[in-house]
């Protein structure tokens, strides 16, 4: 059995060949700091965020697409892979995605975290390549294509051709930065303190990155910063746009920088085909229009945008045999094996 793993900052997804996506859980783990014991991971741990007593901590052990707490990530991966592969006899091969701009130390941390489960081999693939493959783009031909994968941890922007990355840029903490901006906005305007989970729910429910066509309302509950008492306010989508608009524009600036560095022949291909965007945040209202307005290019939202990376990792499983045989007959998007 071969497994594809999208180890995201906000969500972890697992794809098994011939079965498809078999797991989609928040990248959250809860542990008892005194007993040093893991209590929960995934959806169960996510429900505990911001609601735990002092001895129990619920955390995201990944930040900006890379591992921040190695021990916790190892435990979380073991729990998730155990749910998928119960057999310890068959050691699976794993294809895992990594951000484009990552150091060798961070890369090795990902490999060590996955290897702790007892897998046969780990193959790495850049998130942008996986997203492009999952979105149905042909990255192995001598034809340029541009993918922008906007996730909770990073936004990976890349121009691809012949199975490799020609130009790329990674913007860290996009989704988390938006949550922080919503928290600051609500506190500044309404003197109301809200948590990260509430801010994330508000962003996904009524978030938009262009002035909204119709006003939507989302009720946020928190603590009055003046009196310390419970209170709520009804946030409008235009207010969320005001809060997160600058962070969204940082993605557009990244796209413009990548286009400026792209070779002319590849730019011609991108002008013909346009830009494809994927990832959970790509589904916020207006992202296609925002990017298209500044780049003057067509922008397409990939089908099943949230699952493009894990689907692409699943497609990359087919290249494992070529990598093991050192076959030069086909262009191989996989990076080195570990």
Q: Which residue has the tokens 């541009």?
A: 146
Which has more pLDDT, 203 or 90? Answer: 203
Which has more pLDDT, 101 or 43? Answer: 43
Tokens at 99, concatenated: 């951000």
Q: What integer is the mean pLDDT of 240-262?
A: 95
> Which letter, b or e, does each residue of 95-132 get, where b requires 16 or more Cβ atoms within 10 Å of its Cβ?
bbbbbbbbeeeebebbbebbbbbebebbbbbbbbbbbb
Candidates 177, 219, 215, 174; CA nearest to 198 is 219
Residue 20 CB coordination number (10 Å): 11
Range in 50-54, 117-121, 194-198, 250-254 the model is least confident about? 117-121
The predicted structure's pLDDT at residue 251: 95
**May I ask the CATH architecture of the domain 137-172+248-304?**
2-Layer Sandwich (3.30)
The predicted structure's pLDDT at residue 330: 64
pLDDT at 220 over 80: yes
Range in 74-78, 158-162, 225-229, 325-329 the model is least confident about? 325-329
Grade residue 90 by pLDDT with cuts at 50, 70 and 90: low
Q: What is the CATH number of domain 2-131+311-324?
A: 3.30.420.40
Instruction: Enumerate the β-bridge partners of residue 158.
Output: 147, 168
Residue 212 CB partners (closer than 8 Å, separation 6+): 206, 237, 238, 241, 285, 286
Grade residue 326 by pLDDT with cuts at 50, 70 and 90: low
Please tell me if the domain spanning 137-172+248-304 has the same topology as the one spanning 174-243: no
Residue 258 CB coordination number (10 Å): 20
Candidates 275, 272, 285; CA nearest to 207 is 285
pLDDT at 327 over 70: no
Grade residue 297 by pLDDT with cuts at 50, 70 and 90: very high
Grade residue 307 by pLDDT with cuts at 50, 70 and 90: very high
pLDDT at 89 over 60: no
Mean pLDDT, the chain, as a whole number? 90
Q: Where do the structural domains in the chain lie, given as residue ranges?
A: 2-131+311-324, 137-172+248-304, 174-243
- Is residue 80 classed exposed, middle or buried when 0-12, 13-18 and 19+ CB atoms within 10 A define those classes? buried
Q: What integer is the mean pLDDT of 312-317?
A: 91
Helices H / strands E in the chain, number of each: 11, 18
Q: What integer is the mean pLDDT of 161-179?
A: 90
H-only helix segments in the chain: 43-46, 70-84, 104-115, 127-134, 174-190, 196-206, 237-261, 264-273, 287-295, 308-316, 320-324
The predicted structure's pLDDT at residue 57: 93
Q: Which residue has the tokens 């709520």?
A: 232
pLDDT in tens, 98-152: 888 888 888 889 998 888 888 888 999 999 999 999 999 999 889 999 999 998 8
Q: What integer is the mean pLDDT of 226-244?
A: 95
CATH class of 174-243: alpha beta
DSSP state of 337: B
Grade residue 289 by pLDDT with cuts at 50, 70 and 90: very high
CA dihedral sign of residues 31, 35, 36, 39: negative
């Amino acid at each position: 059995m071969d497994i594809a793993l999208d180890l995201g900052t906000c969500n972890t997804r697992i794809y098994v060949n011939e079965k498809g996506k078999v797991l989609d859980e928040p990248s959250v783990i809860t542990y008892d700091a005194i007993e040093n014991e893991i209590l929960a991971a995934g959806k169960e741990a996510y429900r505990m965020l911001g609601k735990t007593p002092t001895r129990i901590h619920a955390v995201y052990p990944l930040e900006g697409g890379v591992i921040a707490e190695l021990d916790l990530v190892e435990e979380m991966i073991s729990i998730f892979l155990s749910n998928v592969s119960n057999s310890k006899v068959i050691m699976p091969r794993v294809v895992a995605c990594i951000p484009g701009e990552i150091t060798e130390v961070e890369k090795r941390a990902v490999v060590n975290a996955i290897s702790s489960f007892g897998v046969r081999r780990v193959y790495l693939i850049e998130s942008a390549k996986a997203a492009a493959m999952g979105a149905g783009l042909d990255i192995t031909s001598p034809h340029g294509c541009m993918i922008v994968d906007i996730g909770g941890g990073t936004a990976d922007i890349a121009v691809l051709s012949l199975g490799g990355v020609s130009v790329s840029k990674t913007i860290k903490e996009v989704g988390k930065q938006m949550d922080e901006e919503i928290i600051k906005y609500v506190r500044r305007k309404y003197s109301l303190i809200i948590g990260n989970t509430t801010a994330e729910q508000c962003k996904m429910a009524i978030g938009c990155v262009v002035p909204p066509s119709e006003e939507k309302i989302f009720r946020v509950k928190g603590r009055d910063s003046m009196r310390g008492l419970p209170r709520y306010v009804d946030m409008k989508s235009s207010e969320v746009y005001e809060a997160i608009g600058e962070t969204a524009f940082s993605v557009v600036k990244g796209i413009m920088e990548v286009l400026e560095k792209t070779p002319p022949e590849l730019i011609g291909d991108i002008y013909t085909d346009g830009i494809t965007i994927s990832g959970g945040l790509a589904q916020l209202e207006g992202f296609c229009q925002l990017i298209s307005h500044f780049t003057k290019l067509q922008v397409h939202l990939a089908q099943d945008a949230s699952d493009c990376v894990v689907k692409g990792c699943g497609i990359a499983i087919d290249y494992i045999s070529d990598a093991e045989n050192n076959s030069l007959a086909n262009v191989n998007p996989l990076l080195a094996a570990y």
